[in-house]
């Protein structure tokens, strides 16, 4: 089959690799119709995180159909349409039973937790390919309605990682109906965090970035875009709140002065130390911050002085994916608004290059295998 393989920093290639086989009776092989390129793939591509071994098949965002099933798979049938949560989990270890499926104790011989197409995460081949082997298929394949390439294909694909991760980030930031939220920055996870906050009933969601295309997307979903290249983003949020929301006016002056910021902060995508420090400033006393990207350090002193709760960690996607899938089916969520250009699998090297160069229309890109039937 054809697959996207890592070659060296800044280089991937589309090569013929061996077709995946059923290795255990609980396995399935999926014929992939769409695959995403995620921030994690780009970190590997640009050599900024764990080292990928040359030849590794990348990717953990997958929608497709069941091509073959092991004899012990009980709940799936050939040609069932499925999406894969990025975490490879067993469903029966103690961590999976507790809902910590990102820390499964069965699927990675070296440490807790496994992900498709990522080094040190269980050596599973990735999903930027024509086929993928899925262990414990009853647990790791989430059934979907419809047919490949229908109006839900791209929405369903985002369930594997970013939509679920954005929802988890909002949940960990304690976003509730009526909440005020600030999100830094507006990459795919930031936009999904903002979108999830709105779905959860937040009434003011400030999305902070400097790229106009991303700020326009934030505005499109009803968030308030804040351009940090113009001036300090915290001051902009304070000013916006003070001048534009009746909420602040509903407070007594002394209350408003003590609570000029937001209830929740979400650090997404590429949040550097300065950005996190300012985000901590923007969150009110007794608020909450969740970290959905990678950061080197956090302003612990400032956060602890204000009694802000802090949360981080990989998303146990399976815990959210069924409800989010149902929201898509019911027409209450359409996360694919972040998807721009689509490429064929053969065009993957170009897609990676265009993403790294942040070309317009490349907030999130998708690879289509052309294997609908």
Query: Could you list the residues that contact Zn ion (CB under 5 A)?
Result: 89-90, 93, 96, 104, 106
In the bound complex, what is the minimum distance in angstroms from residue 164's beta carbon to Zn ion? 17
* Upstream peptide bond of 185 is cis (omega within 30 degrees of 0): yes
**Minimum gap (Å) between residue 318 Cβ and Zn ion:** 10
Q: What is the DSSP letter of 335?
A: G
Helix/strand/coil percentages in the chain, nearest 5: 30, 25, 45
* Nearer CB in complex with Zn ion: 8/97: 97
- Going by C-beta distance under 8 Å and a sequence separation of 6 or more, which residues neighbour residue 321? 83, 85, 142, 159, 164
Q: Classify residue 213 by burial, with Cβ atoms within 10 Å: 0-12, 13-18, 19+.
A: middle
For Zn ion, which is the closer residue by CB, 113 or 287? 113
Decide whether 106 or 264 has the Cβ nearer to Zn ion. 106
d(CA 193, CA 286): 20
d(CA 148, CA 162): 20
Q: Based on CB atoms, which residue is closest to Zn ion, 104 or 173?
A: 104
CB of 104 or CB of 276, closer to Zn ion: 104
* In the complex, least distance from residue 136 CB atom to Zn ion, rounded to whole angstroms: 8
Min separation Cβ 67 and Zn ion, Å: 24
Could you tell me the smallest distance in angstroms from the CB atom of residue 93 to Zn ion? 3
- Phi and psi dihedrals of 173, rounded to 5? -85, 10
Which residue do the tokens 């534009």 mark? 244
Q: Which two tokens stand for residue 34?
A: 């769409």
User: Given the complex with Zn ion, which of 93 and 327 has the nearer CB atom?
Assistant: 93
Write down the residue that tokens 């994690």 correspond to.
Answer: 40
Residues 6+ apart with CB under 8 A from 65: 30, 31, 33, 79, 80, 81, 82, 148
CB of 138 to Zn ion, least distance (A): 13
The two structure tokens encoding residue 137: 């298929």
């Amino acid at each position: 089959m054809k697959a996207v393989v890592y070659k060296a920093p800044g280089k991937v290639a589309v090569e013929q690799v061996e077709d995946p086989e059923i290795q255990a009776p609980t396995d399935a092989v999926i014929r992939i119709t769409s695959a995403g390129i995620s921030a994690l793939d780009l970190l590997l591509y640009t050599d900024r995180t764990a080292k990928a071994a040359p030849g590794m098949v990348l990717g953990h965002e997958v929608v497709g159909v069941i091509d073959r099933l092991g004899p012990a798979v009980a709940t799936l049938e050939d040609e069932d349409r499925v999406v894969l949560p990025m975490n490879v989990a067993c469903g029966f270890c103690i961590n999976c039973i507790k809902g910590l499926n990102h820390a499964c104790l069965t699927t990675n011989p070296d440490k807790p937790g496994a992900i498709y197409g990522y080094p040190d995460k269980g050596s599973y081949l990735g999903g930027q390919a024509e086929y993928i082997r899925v262990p414990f298929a009853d647990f790791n394949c989430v059934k979907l309605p419809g047919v490949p390439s229908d109006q839900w294909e791209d929405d369903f694909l985002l369930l594997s990682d970013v939509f679920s991760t954005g929802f988890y980030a909002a949940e960990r930031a304690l976003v509730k109906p009526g909440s005020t939220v600030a999100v830094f920055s507006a990459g795919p996870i930031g936009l999904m965090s903002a979108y999830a906050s709105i779905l959860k009933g937040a009434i003011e969601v400030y999305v902070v970035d400097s790229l106009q295309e991303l700020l326009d997307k934030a505005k499109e979903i009803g968030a308030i875009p804040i351009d940090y290249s113009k001036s300090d983003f915290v001051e902009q949020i304070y000013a916006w709140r003070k001048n534009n929301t009746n909420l602040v006016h509903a407070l007594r002056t002394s209350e408003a002065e003590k609570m000029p910021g937001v209830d929740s902060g979400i650090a997404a995508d590429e949040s550097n130390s300065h950005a996190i420090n300012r985000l901590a400033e923007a969150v009110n006393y007794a608020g909450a911050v969740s970290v959905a990207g990678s950061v080197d350090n956090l302003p612990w002193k400032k956060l602890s002085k204000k009694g802000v709760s802090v949360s981080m960690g990989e998303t146990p996607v399976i815990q959210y994916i069924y409800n989010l899938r149902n929201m898509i089916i019911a027409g209450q969520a359409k996360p694919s608004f972040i998807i721009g250009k689509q490429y064929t699998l053969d065009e993957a090297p170009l897609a990676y290059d265009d993403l790294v160069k942040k070309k317009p229309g490349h907030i999130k890109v998708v690879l289509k295998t052309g294997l609908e039937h």
